[in-house]
Chains A and B, each alone.
Chain A
Amino acid sequence: MITFSNVSLIYPQSTKTILEDLSFQIEEGEMVLVMGETGSGKSSLLRLINGLVPHHTGGILAGDISVDGISTRSVKPGSLAHLVGIVGQNPINGFVTDIVEEELAFSMEALNFAPDVMRKRVEEVLDLLSLSALRNRSIATLSGGEQQRLAIGAALVMHPKVLVLDEPTSALDPIAAEEVLSVLHRLVHDLSVTVIIAEHRLERVIQFVDRIIYIEGNGDTSIGTADEILKRSELVPPIVKLARALNLSEIGTSVREVRRQTEDVRSVEYSRPLSSPKNSSLAIEISHVSHSYTGKIALNDVSATINHGEIVAIMGRNGAGKSTLLHSIVGLHSPQSGEVKVNGTDPTTLKGAERRKSIGYVPQEPSDLLFASSVSEECALADRSNDLIPGTTASLLNRLVPDISANAHPNDLSEGQRLALVLSIVLSGNPEVLVLDEPTRGLDYRAKNLFAIALKEYATQFNRPVLLATHDVELVAELTDRVLFLAEGEIVADGTTLEVLLSSPAFAPQVAKVMSPKPWLTVSDVVHAIEASS
């Protein structure tokens, strides 16, 4: 279906080739995962398939790419619209109309389809993706998962033979991600659509894919079955890490496979490690907070306390009230009823330097805080505004990511580097509380690991609380001590990470699913337990 022969790609004004001498073939009805670190060229590879690269972005392409016998060199991306459907990273940025039905019809209208064909196909897709109930809704009011399904639907109405998706689940909660992936799975199996998908959270997609294209940092690219690639790759999901740690003979990609191989591990009784009770003192107190936006209740009588030195995750589905709760805690708005106290003060009264010292906040889009023209300037600015010795922020940043170039423009940094820069700017104010809103979107495993280490260090070294809203269960399992689970504006679970994650199958990390009913969340939990008993 898709043939790459000796493809190399270089962007103008760049000295680094993105892809070098890449050759592979993808058959009809295959599901292929493209993986690699951030900035390795995954998106470029995907956009080569329908010719957006280089037709739309510029760049020099050597070699040839053909899709269903048509060379992308000779035609414009639009002429491949009936053959290749492409779904971008942020579907909301690619919607052209504002009503669900119209969005689905857009491509067909542009290509002058007959009205009766259009009606039929729109109905088909509405049914296939269970969007019928939403047909007249304004797109802006859809949830993240619904928007993602709509974007897939808008591509599917053209009956494409190839569907290309760039990180389709990165903004979704685990349940919505599951929905989207099962739709893709069905397309591959029932309609023989060829699906090519790029994703960082391998644990979500790995069980569905047939083959993997792995773009390594050094420019090498390998392609093979999941087992072949994962055996030696550096980026692996927790389930493969587990298999490596336990020296299993085969690497499984689904929970079922690994469960079969680890029966003997699970059958032994292990002594539970004694959890040392922390010397806790109150840091954040949330009492009976309610908040609503134009008639819609976002928070309903929420009460919780957060202690010093605790890392707490706020989880829940999209729209459960996580962001509203964070906003109340950082003092963006005073809640309509109830009150929030951060170290005894009302956060809405904080201003300027006092605010920087009390609450450090990392927003959902880290780049909102960046406006200088280079990394070093940004660091110097942070030093000045916090009256620090020049170089303090830069050295903090250097500890987080050692290989960052001081002259680089913040916009040219990778997602992980940018987050590290913002984190070090926020931490340079030495805040007593750290609050983060979905910090790990678009981060690869390596960047996520560095980030987790930095947060842990901050929490234990200074005995200060860290609060983060996130969908990333694997991060929560690795990092946090406690989880607040929100649903419909209410706290439905508040307990240790172990209790909360194990009690909900949808939010359980991979290792817990494999090792159930043993109380382990991460690979290191398993290894420690086995070491302790032998």
Chain B
Amino acid sequence: MKKQLHPLTLWICSILLAIGVVVLDNAFIALAIVGAVAVLVYIRRDGSPWQRSFALSIRIGLTILAIRTIVGILIGVPIPGTKLFTLPILDLPSWMPGIRIGGVVTLERLSSSLHEGVIIATMIALFGAATSLTSPHKLLRVTPSFIYEVGITLVIATSLFPQLATSARRIRTAQKLRGFEKIELRSIAIPLLEESLSRSLQLAATMDARGYGISRKRSRYRPQPWLMRDNLVLLFALAMTITMVTR
């Protein structure tokens, strides 16, 4: 069996990178990081259900990017520059000063909207990649017992992510087979919400019944040691973040 990185390493790395991306505020570097992470996720795939969360996070990111761009074009402060095209200006009542809908769309305005969308999407993708690479269940194994309440919340919250993807697909299939061709948010969201709620409750109940959080101290069955390479990976990520932040 291949020795794996400590789960915390991967999570800390993705958080560091996310900070770097936000501070640096450069869409091209952000896209490059997403590309690199995508390759990593592809290499380390092992067929576990968590694997899908990266693809899902990319899709969510793209949706946000699209919405951000459309909103950016329609509403907002006019930025002078190269004129691309003009949208008709919507007349707004006088009690809404300072907001303009429509108007001239400049290259600068389009690119700044795209840019902000890319940054948000990158952060989501980084989070998705971390979930993909180490399951939250593994993460729980390394949380110290004194943050029990936080640990339990964290596990339940993050388990929802890949389970949502699996359940959403199953529900969508069932409804397609019923002949509902249109994707209605309500028709998928309600069964999905009900299922995830009851699943979370069940998981919490079993953890409770199995003695989680009773003992102050917690022993390790096969401890996941913090190795030299974890240090190296972290140092590298830290260096990268510092470069991005101080540039």
Contact = CB atoms under 8 A, between A and B. Distances in A.
Given A112-B215, A411-B194, A371 B199 contact: no
Contact of A97 (B141, B188, B205): B141
Interface in B214-229: 214-222
A330 B173 CA distance: 11
A80 B46 CA distance: 36
Interface in A424-449: 426, 429
A78 B214 contact: yes
A367 interface: yes
Given A368-B174, A371-B187, A97 B209 contact: no
A190 B203 CA distance: 31
Contacts of B183: none
28 contacts: A47-B205, A52-B205, A52-B208, A52-B209, A76-B208, A78-B213, A79-B214, A81-B214, A93-B199, A93-B206, A94-B202, A96-B155, A98-B138, A107-B211, A107-B212, A109-B141, A110-B211, A112-B216, A115-B221, A351-B179, A353-B179, A356-B178, A367-B191, A369-B174, A369-B191, A370-B190, A371-B190, A426-B178
B33 interface: no
Interface residues of A, number: 67
Interface string B39-54: 0000000111100000
A43 to B, nearest CB: 11
A111 B178 contact: no
B207 interface: yes
Interface stretch (A59-67, A82-90, A452-460): A82-90
A113 B217 CA distance: 10
B170 interface: yes
Nearest to A122: B221
B48 A98 contact: yes
Leading 6 A-B pairs by shortest Cβ distance: A81-B211, A94-B206, A105-B221, A368-B174, A355-B179, A78-B214
Contacts of A114: 219
> How big is the B interface, by class?
35 or more
Given A98-B138, A363-B174, A367-B194, A86 B209 contact: yes
Given A109-B219, A368-B171, A98 B137 contact: yes
A50 interface: yes
A176 interface: no
Per DSSP, are chain B's interface residues mostly helix, strand or loop, or mixed?
helix
Q: Pick from A56, A110, A113 the residue with the most CB of B within 10 Å.
A: A110
Nearest to B171: A368
Interface string A379-413: 00000010000000000000000000000000100
Interface in A16-70: 47, 50, 52, 55-56
Nearest to A81: B211
Interface in B118-160: 135, 137-138, 140-141, 145, 155
B210 A107 contact: yes
Contacts of B204: 56
Contacts of B99: none
